[in-house]
Amino acid sequence: MPEQETSVAVENLVKRFGDFVAVDRINLDIRKGEVFGFLGPNGAGKSTTIRMLCGLLKPTSGRARVAGYDVAREPEAVRQNIGYMSQKFSLYNDLKVIENIRLFAGLYSVTPGKLKERIEWALAMANLKGRENLITGTLPGGWKQRLALGCAVLHKPPIIFLDEPTSGVDPISRRQFWDLIHQMAEEGVTVFVTTHYMEEAEYCNRLALIFRGKIVALGTPSELKRDAMKGELLLIECEPLGSAVEALQSAPDVMDAAVFGNALHLVVPDADAAVPRMEKYLANHGIVVSRIEKIRPSLEDVFVSLTTARDAGEERTA
């Protein structure tokens, strides 16, 4: 990261609804030009945090500064300095391309002096020059999505919030879209991504995982895969799979067992030590193991491990 300037600074941020603590003293420090991913299961405090960062909800206590503005005291200024794009809702399908751009320019109060230049810029970025009069709904997915991004940044915000921006988009368009995002980040735009899809999380420079209102993990995707997982992962191919799952429920040292098609993923404290023990244990239950090996956890494995371990009432410092 060439820039070290802070773009989003969150200190001990708290939001209570009655007795319920939705966001519990979280701290974040996001640099200018960083692509930052914010992950967490439904109801973990993710949306509440974002609503506070966008100046839409007042924090109970703590502080958050976005693009230099305090979200509690200057929510108007915060809203003028952010862009927002979601794959689910962003454009009006029955409007023409140019009508969508004009609409968003109006919503974001782009000044008349800059309007022409910004429209040209958005059309160029979305590769839609000469196609201004097409109905938005008829555009292929990848184009629509670039247009949505163009509309979200018409007012040149220093920070943009993306919510599952590439869900459902084909992998080739998705790669091109993320290239564009990284280019914008290189030019100094801070990108704040929320998603349930680990394929999208892999494109972020750093990730934070929120669970029950607290940040439970923070780091680059490879750091999280290396360090954040509670336990190690074994891949087991065996027959019959159904009895294996049942037998493993009560096996010693098995922290989690999940079926993946024709194989099992097992979370254990020490994979190397577990291999001979699991082979023996499964053989004793009449299960034939054809393959057993330690594998590297995916981001999803990490996500599930961190949010279910705590479900079981275990404590662990983040």
Partner 1 sequence: MTEQLQSANRSAIKAEGLTKSFPGVRAVEALSFDVRAGEIFGLVGPDGAGKTTTLRMLAGVMPPDAGKATVAAFDVVRDPEGAKHALSYMPQRFGLYDDLTVDENIRFYADLFGVRRAEREERSTELLKAAGMSEFRKRLAGKLSGGMKQKLGLVCALIHRPKVILLDEPTTGVDPISRRDFWRILYELIAEGVAILITTAYLDEAERCHRVALLNQGKLLFCDTPANLKARIGKDVLSVIAPEPRRLRSALEHADGISSLVLTGDGLHVVVDDAARRIPEFEARLKSANVPFDAIHQVAPTIEDLFVDAVAGGASSHA
Q: Is 260 in the site for partner 1 (CB under 8 A)?
A: yes
Residues β-bridged to residue 36: 192, 206
Q: Is 205 in the site for partner 1 (CB under 8 A)?
A: yes
In the complex, what is the shortest distance from the CB of residue 47 to partner 1, in angstroms, rounded to a whole number?
Answer: 11
Give 113-118 contacts, CB < 8 A, sequence gap 24+. Answer: 118/154, 118/155, 118/156
d(CA 282, CA 41): 33
Helix 112-125 / helix 141-152 crossing angle, nearest 10 deg:
150
Q: Is 127 in the site for partner 1 (CB under 8 A)?
A: no
Q: Is 86 in the site for partner 1 (CB under 8 A)?
A: no
d(CA 293, CA 289): 11
Q: Is 286 in the site for partner 1 (CB under 8 A)?
A: no
Q: Is 179 in the site for partner 1 (CB under 8 A)?
A: yes
d(CA 48, CA 283): 49
d(CA 257, CA 241): 11
Q: Which listed range, 4-12, 19-27, 59-67, 304-312, lies at the site for partner 1 (CB under 8 A)?
A: 304-312
Residue 147 or 304: the one with the smaller Cβ distance to partner 1 is 304
Q: Is 227 in the site for partner 1 (CB under 8 A)?
A: no
Among 120, 186, 227, 293, binds partner 1 (CB under 8 A): 186
Among 12, 93, 222, 290, binds partner 1 (CB under 8 A): 222
Phi first, then psi, for residue 236 (nearest 5°) are: -130, 125
For strands 82-86 and 232-239, give the pairing.
Answer: unpaired
Among 40, 150, 165, 213, binds partner 1 (CB under 8 A): 40
Q: Is 262 in the site for partner 1 (CB under 8 A)?
A: yes
For strands 288-295 and 232-239, give the pairing.
Answer: antiparallel
The site string for partner 1 over 46-85 (x = CB under 8 A, - otherwise) reads ----------------------------------------
- Burial of residue 152 (CB within 10 Å: 0-12, 13-18, 19+) is buried
The pair of three-digit structure tokens given for residue 259, joined into one six-digit string: 């079926």
Q: Is 259 in the site for partner 1 (CB under 8 A)?
A: yes
Residue 170 or 272: the one with the smaller Cβ distance to partner 1 is 170
Would you tell me which residues interact with partner 1 (CB under 8 A)? 1, 35, 37, 40-43, 88, 140-141, 164, 167-173, 175-176, 178-179, 182, 186, 196-199, 201-207, 220-223, 240, 242, 245, 258-262, 296, 298, 300, 303-304, 307-308
